[in-house]
């Protein structure tokens, strides 16, 4: 099957629009010879004459009129699509797809994602949260958010720089009838909120102090796989929970939860926004990366 280039089709429409080969050549920035050769090549491949030519005038043949009627709307749609893509290089618009752990998504939601949407309302963000690690490029995402130790070595990473810690906590009513554990090992004698990982394994609670590291398989009345559910259970006195500090900070401040073993939960590896090396990326993508760098540097002011 013969493949025709867009320039040959554009040449035909330009001649119709401008009324002559010479005027069409000027309109397209081509020589008269080049535009004549393009049309001649197309006519030979179609085995039909598209134009009647004389030394004084040029007009479409019957076949030419049918041909132009069919290709003109199609080329206009192609031009619209090209203009839309070009516009995304100038004004942030379109869709950005981001993959993240649920805990990471919660941490960046208000200070970064929502701030971005306030600044660039023509952009739609598709934020997908899941526990498993995915290849963001193969899965069709523009970028991902993970802890720095889980970022692929060949990715470009922006450390987001926010302090991240775990927190062990239970409700005041829970401790009203129990002693507060002083060391992690004492948790084995308390009802705890167990957490199931995406791969089905139970999460082992991790602790560290003065170079000593511990991992505990706690026991308790309920096993959950969603932090928001564990928070509900903890605030209602069901047991001791192990959380991302950011998820329960407001509850601690408000007195709904009591934090324990704080000296056993040192800072965690920071979050990173990461992406593949991209050329000719959209304005929406570039704007998000710029905002993430400002966020990481503490320069991001809330709107």
More confident call, 84 vs 197: 197
Q: If we measure between CA atoms, which residue out of 2, 3, 11 comes closest to residue 75?
A: 11
Q: Is 94-162+270-296 the same fold as 6-88?
A: no
Hey, what CATH topology would domain 166-264 get? D-Maltodextrin-Binding Protein; domain 2 (3.40.190)
Res 201: pLDDT: 87
Q: Taking the alpha carbons of 273, 279, 285, 291 in that order, is the dihedral positive or negative?
A: positive
User: 220 is written with which tokens?
Assistant: 């308790």
Q: Is the pLDDT of residue 303 over 50?
A: no
d(CA 273, CA 105): 11
pTM over 0.85: no
Residue range 184-225, pLDDT digits in tens:
999 999 999 998 887 788 999 999 999 899 999 999 999 998
User: 210 is written with which tokens?
Assistant: 């003065």
Residues forming beta bridges with residue 158, ordered by sequence position: 273
Which residues in 59-72 are b (16+ Cβ under 10 Å) and which e? ebeeebeebbeebe
Domain boundaries, the chain: 6-88, 94-162+270-296, 166-264
User: Looking at the domain that runs over 94-162+270-296, which CATH code has it been given?
Assistant: 3.40.190.10
Backbone angles phi, psi at 238, to 5 degrees: -75, -35
User: 262 is written with which tokens?
Assistant: 């704080």
User: Looking at the domain that runs over 6-88, which CATH code has it been given?
Assistant: 1.10.10.10
């Amino acid at each position: 099957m013969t493949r025709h280039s867009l320039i040959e089709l554009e040449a035909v429409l330009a001649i119709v629009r401008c009324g002559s080969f010479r005027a069409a050549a000027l309109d397209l920035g081509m020589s008269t010879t080049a535009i004549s050769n393009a049309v001649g090549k197309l006519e030979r491949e179609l085995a039909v004459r598209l134009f009647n030519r004389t030394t004084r005038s040029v007009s479409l043949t019957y076949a030419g009129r049918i041909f132009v009627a069919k290709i003109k709307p199609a080329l206009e749609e192609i031009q619209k699509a090209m203009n839309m893509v070009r516009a995304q290089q100038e004004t942030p618009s379109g869709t950005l797809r981001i993959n993240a752990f649920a805990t990471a998504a919660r941490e960046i939601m208000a200070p970064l994602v929502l701030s971005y949407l306030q600044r660039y309302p023509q952009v739609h963000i598709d934020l997908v949260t899941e526990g498993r690690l995915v290849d963001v490029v193969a899965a069709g995402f523009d970028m991902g958010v993970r802890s720095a130790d889980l970022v692929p070595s060949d990715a470009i990473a922006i450390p987001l720089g926010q302090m991240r810690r775990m927190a062990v906590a239970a409700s005041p009513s829970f401790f009203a009838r129990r002693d507060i554990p002083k060391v992690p090992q004492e948790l084995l004698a308390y009802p705890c909120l167990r957490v199931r990982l995406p791969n089905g394994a139970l999460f082992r609670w991790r602790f560290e102090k003065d170079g000593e590291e511990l991992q505990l398989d706690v026991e308790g009345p309920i096993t959950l796989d969603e932090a928001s559910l564990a928070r509900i259970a903890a605030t209602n006195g069901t047991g001791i929970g192990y959380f991302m500090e950011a998820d329960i900070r407001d509850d601690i401040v408000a007195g709904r939860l009591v934090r324990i073993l704080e000296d056993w939960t040192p800072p965690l590896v920071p979050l990173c926004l990461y992406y593949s090396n991209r050329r000719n990326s959209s304005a929406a993508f570039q704007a998000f990366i710029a905002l993430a760098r400002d966020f990481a540097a503490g320069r991001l002011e809330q709107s």
